Amino acid sequence: MRLKVAFQGETGAYSEAAVLGYFGENISPIPNPSFEQAFTAVVSGECNFGVLPIENSLAGSIHRNYDLLLENNLHIVGEQFVRVKHCLIGLPGTTKANIKKVISHPQALAQCDHHLRALGVATEAVYDTAGSVRIVKDKCDPTLAAIASARAAQVYEMSILEEGIEDNPANYTRFLVLAREPVDPAGEAKTTLVFTLKNVAGALFKALSVFALRDIDLTKIESRPLPGSPWEYLFYIDFVGHLSDPNCARALDHLGEMATMLRVLGTYPRFHWNE
């Protein structure tokens, strides 16, 4: 039986590309309309894994998914990076000169803003990049185009009018792979955790120093509001290291002495582009 892997978006979305990049083709990607539904699909056992975006190199963090990591009892078991390469996609037979309006996810439109201005077209935000291609196909309007991946054009049998239209080519999205059970990775690992602190002077400095004093590499720090406690925060941290490493274990023990809440969200293999 094929593994079922939940993602948010339509078939052909960049999230589906992350699923296939991590697991290969011999699985069943399961599209979900929202991040919440993708999380629920894994928690309920409907899907074996979930692959959800957590940050983009241009747009920053996907805050809703940080909140959902805390709300759901799932473990991070992997990560995948995807190069986001936007294409202008239209009906077969149309040309770029025919296009009067372009639709896509708000983030995709923003990432192609200069190019779209040069084209002199109107824009409209919709719920999903791949979904925008589906809308163009359903409307059958030769003056309407979408911004999405080359795979989305293939899935919906549409034409790529132009490739690589993003304003900044250094456009990458990092995805987390989620499961109901943790993994024990071999080789280089990353660990993600979340904690809260007393709101006193120097608390965050002291918390971060437990890693600095042990030369542990922090790769990401994110703060989110603590629900029910105005102006207090949750701190999410990614660091390079395995919980079984005595150096990392001592750092977490030290952090636990000052944190009012500490939860490890996962230890998982670190992604490398050359793998």
Q: Is residue 275's pLDDT more than 70? A: no
- The per-residue pLDDT for 44 is 98
Q: Is residue 273's pLDDT more than 80? A: no
Predicted structure pTM score: 0.93
For the segment 240-244, the average pLDDT, to the nearest whole number, is: 94
Annotated active-site residue 40? The verdict is no
Q: What is the pLDDT of residues 154-181, one digit of tens each?
A: 999 999 999 999 999 999 999 999 999 9
Comparing C-alpha atoms, which of 129, 131, 133 is closest to residue 157?
133
Q: Is residue 274's pLDDT more than 70? A: no
Q: What is the 3-state secondary structure (H, E, C) of 197-227?
A: ECCCCCHHHHHHHHHHCCCCCEEEEEEEECC
Catalytic position from the list 39, 175, 195, 235: 175
Q: Is residue 53's pLDDT more than 90? A: yes
- The per-residue pLDDT for 8 is 95
- The per-residue pLDDT for 165 is 96
- The rounded distance, in Å, linking the Cα atoms of 231 and 228 is 10
Annotated active-site residue 219? The verdict is no
In order of start, what are the domains of the chain with their CATH numbers?
4-83+171-179 (3.40.190.10), 87-163 (3.40.190.10), 189-269 (3.30.70.260)
- The per-residue pLDDT for 238 is 98
Catalytic position from the list 7, 23, 35, 173: 173
